[in-house]
Amino acid sequence: MKVVIIGGVAGGATAAARLRRLDERAEIVVFERSGYVSYANCGLPYYIGGVIGDPEALTLQTPESFFARFRVDMRVRHEVTAIHPEKKTVSVKNLETGAEFEETYDKLILSPGAKPTQPRLPGVGLDKLFTLRTVEDTFRIREYIDGHRPRSAVLAGGGFISLELAENLRELGMEVTIVQRPRQLMNPFDPDMAAFIHAEVRKHGVKLALGHTVEGFAERDGGVDVLLKEEDPLHADLVVLAIGVTPDTTLAKEAGLELGVKGSIAVNDRMETSAPDIYAVGDAVQVRHFVTGQDTVISLAGPANKQGRIAADNICGGDSRYSCSQGSSVIKLFDMTAAATGVNETNAKKAGLDVDTVVLSPMSHAGYYPGGKLMTMKVIFERETYRLLGAQIVGYEGVDKRIDVLATAIRAGLTAIQLKELDLAYAPPYSSAKDPVNMAGFMAENLAMGLVKQFRIEDVSNLPRDGSVTLLDARTAEEFACGHIEGFANIPVDELRERLGELDKGKPVYVICQSGLRSYIACRILAGKGFDCYNFSGGFRFYNTVVNDRCLIESAAACGMDQV
């Protein structure tokens, strides 16, 4: 059996290694257009910033090492230019010699990945305008930085690559501005949770121009002007286009393979395409979302590696299945970690789901043990069934641990309430006896039992200030003096029982505190005395971060970038 693989990075390299482990006699040929195979895409920004010093560390395998261990014919700098399903051949061009030839196959695996989205804008192609996809791209950016010592950079786009680059370029001492049309960074996060990401990057000197449309690029004064719609241009010594990725499916389309959403390659759960003996894996394929059941494209390394293994299993006579993606991800942002899994509230509503959420701000470990740091968690679930739909966490320690627990809970079909039952490891340096994940379960249970009712940021501005409702801040007088929401009166929770006479039992009471815990206690006190009470979801810390972020974004609409 002869297997040809197009693309030698995550999915393709995994498929090749798995094929060899299952079939010692198979002939395996991999064509990779770049000069490198099995390289760590996710590490590329960290080489640019000098965190990864050795360029060889980016390549997990070389063609020579892959052949030595697996006897796989890895041909780099070879581009497949056409697929001929009827003849079971592919046309190949050797990019070093220019020679062209046809290669036969019995089975074909497509792992072309995704390419940086490059809109047709004036100035695309300038020598100071870069994209970041391959090791070669990384070396070009690094060589330009080393040779020209740029002092400023504009990054067009606000996803993973852009934020990782922003951190690394700031560490090199550059002024960095991120510009993009959406009014938030990191689309896997809801705008309220993205506010914490914005605050962190601003704190480290990154300027944000959110809600601005890039219309082109022009050389000026030895640098590049990023032309904005109805705004003054942003000028920088270098620009990186990082506005997203597009499935690289030209070959599949020209070969007549069925395509899916966003031009991706349609596959079944065995990773088989519409053409016999042709499989496809990785960032170029359409998958089904585990939570919504909708077709989507998710460009992450984990799914690509799993899919490569599944395709190899099935080529060798097995029956492996890919059972959906849920988009679990994590990113380092300077000192902060941000992670998400499942769907966010925004996309859940777009999918037609009736959702509710809990927001909490637990410590990373036991409060009495030194060094604990706050994290902010948002857990999304279906309103009636409490089916877990997704979660987002931003914080400093223990974020990755909690998101993995929540991702596993979603995959296992647990409800939000069942999170309280998880038996999680506890020691003071690592967690609390009631882990943050357990706490989210307790909060969902309180909602289900009717022990608490919530109000949210979007409700605050609509609350009447005419005395028909009671607006109560349950923090200490000192906290209240440092900042509060207009119209809220202060009665600390520990004084509430003695001061109930100041409240009108006939009016609904809306209560807020710093994190949501003391206001919940206040609500239970009031409910026990016959009051109709609502607890603010997330607390004043959450409210303040989100509102300040919205104000900065609004000001950016007037001045072109955040004032840091």
Q: Which residues are catalytic?
A: 42
Alpha helix segments (H runs only) across 86-190: 135-148, 160-171
DSSP conformation letters of 408-443: HHHHHT-BTGGGGG------TTT--SS-HHHHHHHH
Q: Which two tokens stand for residue 322?
A: 């890919």
Q: Which two tokens stand for residue 537?
A: 């979801």
Bridge partners, 76 (sequence order): 32
> Which run of H or E residues covers position 390?
strand 388-395
- For residue 361, how many other CB atoms are within 10 A of its CB? 19
Q: Side chain identity at 435, as an amino acid letter? A: D
DSSP summary character for residue 204: T
Region label for 476, one of left (φ > 0), alpha (ψ between -120 and 50) or beta (otherwise): beta
DSSP conformation letters of 226-246: EEETTSPPEEESEEEE-S-EE
Residue 163 and residue 394 in contact, taking contact as beta carbons nearer than 8 Å:
no
**Rg of the chain taking only CA atoms, in angstroms:** 27
First to last CA, the chain: 61
Residue 338 and residue 330 in contact, taking contact as beta carbons nearer than 8 Å:
yes
- For residue 372, how many other CB atoms are within 10 A of its CB? 20
- Nearest CA among 520, 521, 504, 513 for reference residue 470: 504
> From CA 536, how far away is CA 266, in angstroms rounded?
44
> Which run of H or E residues covers position 393?
strand 388-395
Bridge partners, 247 (sequence order): 114
> Which run of H or E residues covers position 238?
strand 238-241
- Nearest CA among 85, 86, 89 for reference residue 31: 89
As a whole number of angstroms, the longest Cα–Cα distance in the chain is 90
Q: Which two tokens stand for residue 302?
A: 């984990």
- Nearest CA among 327, 183, 169, 336 for reference residue 236: 169
